[in-house]
Amino acid sequence: MTAIDRNRPAVRRARRTPLTWIRGGGVSNLLFLLPMLLIFGVFSWWPIVRSVVMSFQHTNLVSPPTWVGWDNFVQVANDPLFWTAVGNTAWFALLALILGYPIPLIAAVLMSEVKRAKGLYSALAYLPVVVPPVVAVLLWKFFYDARPTGVFNTILGWVGIPPQPWIQDATQAMPSLVVEATWAAAGGTIIIYLAAITGVSPELYDAAEVDGASIWRKIWHVTLPQLRGVLLITLILQIIGTAQVFLEPFLFTSGGPVNSTVTILLLIYRYAFQNSLGGDYGAATALSLMLAAFLAVLSLVYFRLTKSWSQN
């Protein structure tokens, strides 16, 4: 410690009291936050708390609820359809990862290299997102007509491929759903990637070009490393989104054929609305909490494993 430091008076930290909090604008801040807190409390936090309570009850929202403890979780785990739904959801997520994750990235990279009419291509890529999801599913359901006169089967017939059963076959149903889901959701991801690509410094591309790098080497050594943070976020968001797939199996196949497209959310829907009078909301909320807990643990592990890679 130097002489200057010894002679300098010690700075004492002011003790915070309710009076200093009020004088610092704490009341006005609380008043501004109060509407948001009330809205979140009523529409977000209270339903979560209510769901946790319902998961330990036997209730159909008609008869008085009865406390059953962990019985709902045991009932769900012993349901043969539970593991079928888990397997189908994992299969959907894997297919969506293989098909739906690289396609938006490839499309965004190619569109970033286009010199003219880039706005037109961006609008065309985003157009499926504008279509209402129910309308998109019903439109594709018409395309997936298994008859030889169906739209897709007619196109296949032009190149000599026989008609396909599409969503009427247990093997082809899930890939067919993934194709439609990828088409419907890829536009938003493409726009995100395009925005991230525009943020890459042009000097990096100039340096790579001076070194004689081809376009593919520039993409591999410049574009992708600069997008790794965005890629990590979109990857976990896609995994979470595909784990909660409901609309496609519900509207396309209602879980068929032979339960080949029953997903976790579709099983939750069946518990709540298709089992008995008023539904078994205890089992539905129990399965919902199991899915939420799994996704929370998965996200935590994912961010822990990718933390150093995303920062370096």
Residue 243: inside a domain: yes
Would you state the structure tokens that stand for residue 18, as one six-digit string?
Answer: 């309710």
Q: What is the pLDDT of residues 237-250, one digit of tens each?
A: 999 999 999 999 99
Q: What is the pLDDT of residues 22-55, one digit of tens each?
A: 666 667 778 888 888 899 888 888 989 999 999 9
What pLDDT, on a 0 to 100 scale, did the predictor assign at position 142?
93
User: Is residue 2 predicted with pLDDT exceeding 60?
Assistant: no
Residues written for the chain: 312
User: Is residue 312 predicted with pLDDT exceeding 90?
Assistant: no
Give the sign of the dihedral formed by CA 242, CA 247, CA 251, CA 254.
Answer: positive
What pLDDT, on a 0 to 100 scale, did the predictor assign at position 13?
58
What pLDDT, on a 0 to 100 scale, did the predictor assign at position 89?
95
Question: 69's torsion region: left (phi>0), alpha (psi -120 to 50) or beta?
Answer: left
Residue 19: inside a domain: no
Residue 234: inside a domain: yes
Residue 231: inside a domain: yes
Q: What is the pLDDT of residues 252-302, one digit of tens each?
A: 999 989 999 999 999 999 998 876 566 788 999 999 999 999 999 999 999
Q: What is the pLDDT of residues 113-138, one digit of tens each?
A: 777 877 888 888 888 889 999 999 99
Reference 181, options 105, 97, 255; nearest CA is 97
User: Is residue 236 predicted with pLDDT exceeding 70?
Assistant: yes
How far, in Å, CA of 263 to CA of 286, rounded?
Answer: 15
What CATH number is attached to the domain comprising 202? 1.10.3720.10
Residue 96: inside a domain: yes
Residue 2: inside a domain: no
User: Is residue 87 predicted with pLDDT exceeding 90?
Assistant: yes
Cis peptide before 257 (omega within 30 of 0): yes
Range of the domain at 193: 71-305
CA angle 219, 221, 224 (to 5 degrees): 60
Contacts of 204 (CB under 8 A, 6+ apart): 222, 226
Residue 20: inside a domain: no
Number of domains in the chain: 1
How far, in Å, CA of 288 to CA of 261, rounded?
Answer: 18
* Residue 78 banded pLDDT, cuts 50, 70, 90: very high
User: Model's pTM, two decimal places?
Assistant: 0.84
Residue 76: inside a domain: yes
